[in-house]
Chain A
Amino acid sequence: MAEMLLRIINYPITFLLLFYVFDSFRLLKGGTTEEMRLRGYKRQKVLLLVICTVYFLLLYFYLEDIQMLYLYFLTLLFCVLLPFIYRTCYMGASEIMCNHVIFLFISGMLLLSRISTDKAFRQVEIGLAGLVLSSGIPYLIYKFKGTFRNWKWVYFAVGVVALAAVFLFGSYSNGAKISISLFGVYIQPLEFVKISFVFFMAAFLRDCHDLKSYMQVSVLAAIHVIILALSKDLGGALILFVIYLVLLFVATEKWYVLPAGLGFVLLMYVFANLFFTHVHARIEAWLDPLSVIDNQGYQVSQSLFGIGTWGWFGSGLGLGMPETIPVVVQDFLFSAIGEELGVLYALCLILICFGFVLLLFNLTLKMKDSFYRMVALGLTTCYGFQTFLTIGGCIKFIPSTGVALPFVSYGGSSLLASILIFSILQGLSMTENKKESQHEKEKRRKK
């Protein structure tokens, strides 16, 4: 009975999700009143609650595992805690952004619960801890808004030291050194270095006025990237490079920065293809995975098998075979979502991620302070590009690069860093709003 329900429930749920997506974009446009928006967001919350409840309940009945209910309540707690912190305690966070994060987190949790309850518990516990730990950040940003821009060398040092530590003491996995064990726990410093790097770039670019200073920034940024390349974390190197490129482009306002950067990346890729066997393997796997399916093409092939075998509505949660995809809980969780919750669901997820990126850009544009504007842009680029890399790698649009999907993929460092990024961005936005509302108050008083 539960099995049959799991098979057919994807149809109505996907239909409901379409409403969610539709609301997300419709409410962005002008011409909607505050009231309409609020109602829309409430609708979205209800939808998310329905999705979460229905699937966890069905999983409980199908797997006959009480842990499903525990996971349900913990996930629910996360979904309630997030808006509580950011909308009730701090008044001003964007409600729709909170909705999107909740959607992504739920999607990841559903698949993780079904694949590995241990990992699912870990994920939700880290998520809750992360929410609590980062809850003070918007306040810090508000209080010390002036000081963050002066620590450029601190950001540089933190980034380089963390990356060097991985290079020197890290452990290999899949041909690259990306994690290091600290007090018995494996963390991926890159996730946090992404943040320090953004601050580093923003702080340095503030003081850049001539070619010499731009060159200095470039060299310092290159140090980060080179250490990553030496650790063979090419996905990480690519992300930092793109952040550097975008921020440089906007700061210098020179049109040739982007194409030059792109050309440079392609050149590097060709170079890497010739000299690094593991890059060459990745590219072969991308071009024709079936021909190398018993070796490097196995992962992408299984990913596409999972996505494609069951049709547009998926196999049903718990009824597919996502475990045949290596590393499915991390980089390839998107494929598992596509396989079991359906390709249409996955397509909606892409649209929602994109909607989220648009909202972040909106937030960036509203920033008046140029330093924080750069920070916002950097974090937005980081999230957007990383999402693009992950999903692109899952569906063979680009060669897979070994990065995770923020808020969705399993991974303590990834989840914490994503929450941190969200927290910082909300902090920036609320600081701006507070300044503006204070500004307004002063203006009115003067009148």
Chain B
Amino acid sequence: MKKKKEEKNRGFLQVSYIFLAAFLLLFLYLIFYMVFQRDEFVNNSYNKRIDAMADYVVRGTITSSDGTVLAYTEVDEEGNETRVYPYGEMFAHVVGFSTNGKLGLESSCNYYLLSSHSSFLEKATNLFQGEKNQGDTAQTTLDVNLQQVAYNAMSGYDGAVLVMEVKTGRILACVSEPGFDPNEIQEIYDELVADEDSSALLNRAFQGLYTPGSTFKIATLLEYIRENPDTYGDYAYTCTGSITEDGQTIRCYHNKVHGSEDLMTSFANSCNASFANIGLTLDIDSFQSLSTDLLFGQDVSFELPYRMGTFSLDTDASEADLMEIAIGQGKTIVSPLQMLMIVSAIDNGGTAVQPYILESIQNSDGETVKSFSSEESYTLMSSEEAALLQVFLRDVVEEGTATALNNQSYTAYGKTGSAEYNEDGDSHAWFVGYAQQEGMEDLAVVVVMEGAGAGSSYAVPVAKAIFDAYY
């Protein structure tokens, strides 16, 4: 009789075990969310509770990598809080502001700045005295010195500068012009938003989209090498200053005649005619696929708003289109962030380390609460391809358009660009490249100056100033 009862109960017991498992999973999942996921999840602009946290916490400071304060909150005797930016316009875009909506790090670190990990004793004391806790500090990867150099070197031109440690992904400087003084944001905000011409609130370093001009020849070169792996060394061309095909004429910069060239000298001289010639031979589908490798139209996981460029080549593109695309004109656009990742990939065996700006979060006593590092990397090309491109980029410095960077304590690599954007021949000045020195980090630099003119004349000196300051 008892056995039958046990058997009868078995079904019931099994069902109760299933419920046990279900509730246990529920219990554990909630704990899992609280321990692992909630910091990132909760830090979202739709979460109005974070701003409510400002009732209990004084907004934390933002510092450079060596602890120099870039943003802090000043509290007067009556308890009024003012956000102060000691460096004003210099760090305007990357540090951002928090009072008229949120921009930059003030936005991405909002939750951290309004959280407090002060000691328990301090928090309890504050609670009983009716005072606010001090918010945590956000330490960035930014280097004040390099930022200053880059900012000054831009000398009034609009555009962007990005400086990054190649192997670690740390962004050391980020300049975007035109800028604004964040200390005055409450007064000037409406004006800035209404001004459609200057778009001063846009961080051009991450979100600016420009015609790449000759810097795009890196892609064209890579594509040619991919399509002609055994014969690229035999390439020869005689440049007469221009090339005409399909009714379209492509001229070299200032109609310069480069004479007879091979692949390396074509690249070093940034010969438009030669590269237009190369462009005519390229396979469109293969080129399209290369562009995806080089992050066109792709997503990366970056903590601030960004854009990646677009590359569109129809299968029925005309020869005129092909020539233009090959020299980086036409409908192709890139962002400085994207170019930064491309050149750093070349230096780093074909892999671009994910750039990042937030280094760590510390409490008001300086103890580290949370550390960050680059979490992803992207393979843009093979290491053999990267090694090959390194040689080409070096030649640009040794014999080509960037010789001002030659013979320094550091070894520089790069590519200049003068991207025409209107019919009058005005161009953005570009430099993309990196430098190395024994015992120090490799540094990647991207400079774009709107409407300045030739890359070698304007952008290269900015890069030189940065490299000189660092090495």
Q: Which residues of A contact B42 (CB under 8 A)?
A: 304-305, 308-309
Q: Which of B1-57 contact A (CB under 8 A)?
A: 9-12, 15-16, 18-20, 22-23, 25-27, 29-31, 33-34, 37-38, 41-42, 44, 46-50, 52-53
Residue pair B23, A354 in contact (C-beta under 8 Å): yes
Give the distance in Å from the alpha carbon of A410 to the alpha carbon of B253 in the complex.
Answer: 75
In the complex, what distance in Å separates the CA atom of A392 from the CA atom of B52? Answer: 27
Complexed CA–CA distance, A267 and B76 (Å):
64
A residues 356-373 in Cβ contact with B at 8 Å:
357-358, 361, 364-365
Q: Is the CB of A365 within 8 A of B34?
A: no
Smallest CB–CB gap between B43 and chain A, Å?
9
| A249 touches B (CB below 8 Å) | yes
Verify if A64 is at the interface (C-beta below 8 Å from B). Answer: no
Q: Is the CB of A357 within 8 A of B34?
A: no
B79 at interface by CB-CB < 8 Å? no
* Of the residues A250, A301, A308, A395, contact of B11 by C-beta under 8 Å: A250
Is the CB–CB distance between B46 and A4 below 8 Å? no
How many Å lie between the Cα of A244 and that of B12 in the bound state? 14
Q: Closest CB-CB distance, A58 to chain B, in whole Å?
A: 15
In contact, A350 and B49 (Cβ under 8 angstroms): no
Nearest neighbor of A395 in chain B, beta-carbon distance = B30
Interface residue B101 (Cβ < 8 Å from any Cβ of A): no
> Do the beta carbons of B27 and A309 come within 8 Å of each other?
no
| Nearest residue, chain A, Cβ from B27 | A350
Chain B interface main SS type: helix
**Is B369 an interface position by the 8 A CB rule?**
no
B127 within 8 A of A: yes
Q: Quick check: is B130 within 8 A (CB to CB) of the other chain?
A: yes
A388 & B15 in contact (Cβ 8 Å cutoff): no
Q: In the assembly, what is the distance between CA of A354 and CA of B24, in Å?
A: 9
Q: Quick check: is A391 within 8 A (CB to CB) of the other chain?
A: yes
Do A250 and B34 touch (CB < 8 A)? no
On chain A, the residues within 8 Å of B10 by CB distance are 253
Q: Contact string, B294-336, partner A, CB cutoff 8 A, digits 1/0?
A: 0000000000000000000000000000000000000000000
A310 to B52, CA, bound (A): 11
Tell me whether B49 and A321 are in contact (CB under 8 A): yes
Say whether A353 faces chain B, with CB atoms less than 8 Å apart.
yes
Whether B27 contacts A347 by the Cβ 8 Å rule is yes
B44 touches A305 (CB 8 A): yes
> Residue A346 at the B interface, CB < 8 A?
yes
A278 at the interface (CB under 8 A from B): no
- Give the bracket for the number of chain A residues in contact with chain B: 35 or more
- In the assembly, what is the distance between CA of A377 and CA of B18, in Å? 13
**8 Å CB contact of B30 from A8, A293, A346, A357:** A346
Q: State the Cβ distance, A133 to closest chain B Cβ, in Å.
A: 29
| Contact across chains for B44 and A324 when beta carbons are under 8 A apart | no
Q: Is the interface of A mostly helix, strand, loop or mixed?
A: helix
Whether the pair A249, B23 counts as a contact (CB closer than 8 A) is: no
For A343, list chain B residues within 8 Å (CB).
30, 34
Docked complex Cα distance between A315 and B34 (Å): 15
Once A361-B12, A377-B15 are accepted as A-B contacts, the answer to whether A305 and B46 lie under 8 Å apart by CB is yes
Chain A positions 328-353 with a Cβ under 8 Å from a chain B Cβ? 343, 346-347, 350-351, 353
Query: Which residues on the B side are within 8 Å of A397 (C-beta)?
Result: 25-26, 29-30
Contact B52 A357 (CB under 8 A): no
Q: Report the bound CA distance from A432 to B434 in whole Å.
A: 84
Contacting pair A309 B47 (CB below 8 A): yes
- Measured between beta carbons, the chain A residues less than 8 angstroms from B31 are 347
Nearest CB of chain A from residue B445's CB, rounded to whole Å: 34
Nearest CB of A to B42, in Å = 5
Q: How far is the CA of A304 from the CA of B38 in the complex (A)?
A: 8
Residue A246 interfacial (CB < 8 Å): yes
Q: Is B27 touching A351 in the complex (CB atoms < 8 A)? A: yes
The residue of chain B having its C-beta at the shortest distance from the C-beta of A396 within the complex is B33
Footprint of A on B, CB under 8 Å?
9-12, 15-16, 18-20, 22-23, 25-27, 29-31, 33-34, 37-38, 41-42, 44, 46-50, 52-53, 127-128, 130
The 8 closest A-B pairs by CB, nearest first: A308-B38, A250-B11, A354-B23, A305-B47, A309-B49, A361-B16, A308-B42, A397-B29
- A interface, CB within 8 angstroms of B: 4, 7-8, 246, 249-250, 253, 258, 290, 293-294, 298, 301-302, 304-310, 312, 315, 320-321, 324, 343, 346-347, 350-351, 353-354, 357-358, 361, 364-365, 377, 381, 384, 388, 391-392, 395-397
Q: List 29 A-B contacts (CB under 8 A).
A: A258-B18, A298-B46, A302-B46, A304-B33, A304-B38, A305-B41, A305-B46, A307-B30, A308-B33, A308-B34, A309-B42, A315-B49, A321-B48, A346-B30, A347-B27, A347-B31, A350-B27, A350-B30, A354-B23, A354-B27, A357-B16, A377-B15, A384-B22, A388-B22, A388-B23, A388-B26, A396-B33, A397-B25, A397-B30
